[in-house]
Amino acid sequence: MQSMPNHAPSITPIKADLMVCPRWIIPVEPAGVVLEDHALIINRGEIVDLLPREAAAQRYVADTIETLPEHVLIPGLINTHTHAGMTLMRGIADDQPLKTWLEEWIWPLESRWVSTEMVRDGTLLACAEMLLSGMTTFNDMYFFPEAAAEAVDQSGIRANLGILAFDVPTAYGHGADDYLTRGLATRDALRNHPRLSFMLAPHAPYTVSDATFDKVATLAAQTGLGIHIHAHETQHEVDDSLHQYGERPLERLERLGILGPQTLAVHAVALNDADITLMAKHNVQVAHCPVANLKLGSGIARTTALNAAGINIGIGTDGAAGNNRLDLLSETRLAGLLAKGTQQDPGLFPAHSLIYMATLGGARALGLQDQIGSLTIGKRADLCAIALDNATTLPVFDPASQIIHAAGREHVTHVWVDGQCVVKKKHLTEISHGEIYAKAKTWENRFRG
């Protein structure tokens, strides 16, 4: 290498696939950091460097350079709980009590219509919405995960699919054994897919027998798979369990060997202090779904107490049939607002901690923290760019606050998953709007009939 006096030594630039140069980067790890005028370097879908923009321009030559002069770049948002296929039922029966909603609307429709076609079409619509809203990973629990996987594959999103288990026959299978067999077969068939992972998904304590939980616990031990389960969504569920089993649902799950650091308890609303202690003892993960909990009248989860107990919390949208939007940014904002408001403490859950919950907290909840959740060298390049130069987001004193409290999904401009650009200037690259529209209208007409 030549050495030239009074000049920096010339070096051969390193080739990379992509260089993203936003105004600000919030890597999430380390915590609370906002980098200005830095660049993120991606090669083969992996984050390979994060450095000041000037140094990046000297050190790297990238096939694609994306300059985002008024944007903040964060890790892609992680939706820790949804039922993507149900997006086709968005808003079909609002303002109804949970029992009416399920028994008179959702279950009859599912019984009539759930199929691989419905799950694929519904999941594709959900993927479109989630990508446009800045999500790069979702954790799903629904019938026919093999059909959901097709939509995931097409859309370019990342997903963690549920291997369903519960004790009622449906169009998808005869009962728990059948569901588990089918789900495990789907996982085996797709285990090399770069954007798919799986968890066991026993539906809920009130729909799964002790015998089925035993099988789930055994499978979890054999395979190393995590467990995705609704738990303590309502006080009614807790009361019923006490009546039927003489135990609270979490006590029963502990007895059955279901609780552990790879167990994701969804909702976790109706909790007493002993429940929280039990969850902390087993390092259980929580998927907090504040909109669904309010909209269905379940209540408000005790996130401040969960957080104080050291329990990791991710954010989930739940299904669009109930929510009715798959919008993790507004969901995360609400998580913060509810904690501040109910505890009467505006200092709770400051902006960076909420961004953490929506990204790395979600990755930890799914056991994917080594692969995604932060803009860390060696992780997969799942990225979300948010523009802050709009009338609705100006001025900008603190990009972290702006993301949580002022911006919305409408400001998401670019999304990358595994290094691939799947949303560019607010448009999906892998899904046509015409396809989404036609499928949604087809199913709207079917459900009306």
Among positions 107-166, residues that touch its own copies (CB under 8 A) are 125, 128-129, 132-133
Which tokens sit at 152?
Answer: 């995931």
Of the candidate residues 79, 137, 139, 298, the single one contacting its own copies (CB under 8 A): 298
Work out how close the CB of 92 gets to its own copies at its nearest, in angstroms, rounded to a whole number: 5
Of the candidate residues 2, 8, 12, 95, the single one contacting its own copies (CB under 8 A): 95
- Which neighbouring-strand residues pair with 38? 52
Q: Is 448 in the site for its own copies (CB under 8 A)?
A: yes
Q: Is 98 in the site for its own copies (CB under 8 A)?
A: yes
**DSSP string covering 171-225, please?**
TTBSSHHHHHHHHHHHHHHHTT-TTEEEEEEE--TTTS-HHHHHHHHHHHHHH--
Of 377 and 438, CB closest to its own copies: 438
Work out how close the CB of 391 gets to its own copies at its nearest, in angstroms, rounded to a whole number: 4
Of 363 and 400, CB closest to its own copies: 400
Residues within window 408-427 making contact with its own copies, judged by CB under 8 A: 408-410
Residues within window 239-258 making contact with its own copies, judged by CB under 8 A: none
Residues within window 328-357 making contact with its own copies, judged by CB under 8 A: 330, 334, 337-338, 340-347, 349-351
Work out how close the CB of 153 gets to its own copies at its nearest, in angstroms, rounded to a whole number: 18
Question: Which among 126, 71, 26, 72 is positioned nearest to 354, based on CA atoms?
Answer: 26
User: CA 311 to CA 304: how far, in whole Å?
Assistant: 10
Q: Could you tell me which residues come within 8 angstroms of residue 102 by beta carbon, excluding any fewer than 6 positions away?
A: none
Position 309, amino acid: A
Q: Is 384 in the site for its own copies (CB under 8 A)?
A: no
Of 193 and 340, CB closest to its own copies: 340
Residues within window 312-331 making contact with its own copies, judged by CB under 8 A: 320, 323-327, 330
Of 9 and 434, CB closest to its own copies: 434
User: CA 189 to CA 187: how far, in whole Å?
Assistant: 5
CA 247, chain centre distance (Å)? 30
**DSSP string covering 89-125, please?**
GTTSS-S--HHHIIIIIIHHHHHHH-SHHHHHHHHHH
